[in-house]
Amino acid sequence: MAVAVSDSAWLAALLRFEAALSAAQAARGLLPAGIAAEIAAACKPERLDLAAIGQEAIASATPVVPLLDALRSRLGADAARSVHMGATSQDALDTAMMLVSRDALDLLLADLSALAEECAGLAERHRDTPMAGRTLLQQARPITFGFKAAMWLAGVLDARRRLAWIRAHRLAVQLGGPVGTQDTFGDQGPELAAALARELGLAEPELPWHSARGRVAELGSALAIAAGASAKIALDVALLAQTEVGEVAEAAEGRSSAMPHKRNPARAVEARAAFAGVAAQAGVLLAAMAGEHERAAGAWQAEWPAISEAFRLTAGAVSRSRESLTGLRVDAPRMLANLRQSDEETQPPGDLEGARRLVDRALAIYHDEEAVQ
């Protein structure tokens, strides 16, 4: 994930936009095909100095300006005049954000599937393993450990569905020109945007979304929800692994620098820490919705690092939660002993049947969705 959202990935995505824009313009008769081919040939990340572009971006608050300088220096006069024709920096950067997000989502959806598999396995194996249900951190009615895992599974599946829908429908091309009116493309703006969307395999928006940042905030919120579903699992594991509870333990426990005997649920701890970071980045993306006029002065620019960091940390939360569950040691006798601390006479017989039914239902939903996947 770190590679997928890196500066190099953003550079490659920006170059894909420029090449695709020229190809779309050539297909609409706005550029000679030879010019578009020359531009495409120059749009190779390895030919450009990423560090220099980054340094020079400071002067214009956008990497697109020095990127175009570097591209034009490698093109003939006609192609140099034609590259980026009619577009603006936001067209390039917003579309690049969508391309980077698509690659990152593909990785994240696979990670969520792996986490769901771990949850489903625990739910199935421990469908009948009794333990205390806990509300407000106090023992309540009995459940099964399989039921707890099934509830984890439900949260993960919900997060995966949401992100898959965004991947399919909300990653849209941006092409509005200097102020979002498409006036620099004459009367061909809508058709050119549609052609660009086809070139890049992105959705075609109903209108340019320069100043309507809902799709970016929506993605950030969905990432935070996915990280939160993972952190919920991690927190439960950490609580069940407490010395006084002792019902589960991570297969690869972390060590203490001060107490050699101590074993910590390190993967669960890392998942929760990652979620805290994602929530902060989602806040940045939500705040960026309120931008000034037709292009925000600072809020839009804040989206670029925030979306990359949100993806990186969400992948961390999901991955660490999966590692926490992989090989999880479940102490069924300890679960039963802790359950018996409550007054057994207050628990009516057959209490676990509801938990078992819901485990079966959750597993059926999971297997149906995996068949579709």
Task: Enumerate the active-site residues.
Answer: 256, 295
**Is 338:131 a contact under the CB 8 Å cutoff?**
yes
Tokens encoding 132: 């205390």
Report phi then psi at 279, rounded to 5.
Answer: -60, -40
And the tokens for 316?
Answer: 């961390």
Q: Which residues pair with 135 in a beta bridge?
A: 138
**Four-residue CA torsion sign, 305, 311, 315, 318:** positive
Q: Which helix (H) or strand (E) holds 135?
A: strand 130-135
Closest CA to 161 of 214, 113, 117: 113
Three-class SS of residue 144?
strand
237-257: burial string, b at 16+ Cβ within 10 Å, e else = bbebbeeeeebbbbeeeeeee
Asked if 200 contacts 243 with a C-beta cutoff of 8 angstroms, the reply is no
Contact 324, 234 (CB under 8 A): yes
Structure tokens at 150: 């099934």
Cβ burial 101-121 (10 Å sphere, 16+ → b, else e) = bbbbbebbbebbbbbbbbbbb
Are 315 and 1 contacting, i.e. CB atoms less than 8 angstroms apart? yes
Q: Which residues, listed in sequence order, are joined to residue 248 by a DSSP beta bridge?
A: 330
Distances (CA, A) of 147 to 36, 113, 129, 201, 318: 58, 19, 9, 41, 20
